[in-house]
Amino acid sequence: MRQRRWIKLLSDYEYEIKYHSGKENVVANALSRKERLKLRQVHAMSTTIHSGLKAKILEIPLVGGIRKLIMNEAYTSRYSVHPVMDKMYYDLRDLYWWPGMKKYIAEYVIKCLTCSKIKAEHQKPSGLPQQPEIPAWKLEKITMDLVIRLSRRSSGYDTIWVIVDRLTKSAHFLPIREDYKT
């Protein structure tokens, strides 16, 4: 199908097709071959990339406790809040480097008391989930909660008493004062 279109298109022109063997047709042969980089060129490119990359990474010396300071900042920052070992390593490796960095980070994270207390393996297992009893009538069973320490209004209310019917899920919000006595 495609050849017919080409024949139709070229039929309006006068042309002559000549065949050249592969050895004689140097231009087509050069265009169809992929250029292979020589080992020296690849090594030179690799060296250029690595030397440019190394300039952006700061090597941290062992003296002065600067490594510990960097670790504290990266670990307790409000933006990264106790990251896991791998995330912390990947975040820091773009900016800093020192021998044994990954091992140092792993030890630092393992020694964190906050993380060791919060891990799921240290928490008590919760009980089996139980379906609460479904009430038969409206307002037979209710749940209550307080929303406290809101800004005080001109009416003096600074707390909201929330009452929810467990059957209909209807909620009632009652404004009260925090110092309200029964």
Alpha carbon distance 94, 53 (integer Å):
9
- Radius of gyration, alpha carbons of the chain: 37
Residue 34 has pLDDT above 70, yes or no: no
Judge if pTM exceeds 0.75. Answer: no
Domain of 85 in residue numbering reads as: 54-119
Count how many domains the chain has.
2
Alpha carbon distance 132, 137 (integer Å):
15
What confidence tens digit (pLDDT) does each residue in 103-128 have? 988 888 888 887 777 766 656 667 77
145 neighbors 125 (Cβ within 8 angstroms): no
Whether residue 125 lies inside any domain: the answer is no
Residue 48 has pLDDT above 60, yes or no: no
Whether residue 88 lies inside any domain: the answer is yes
Query: How much is the pLDDT for 119?
Result: 67
pLDDT band at 137 (very low <50, low <70, confident <90, very high): very high
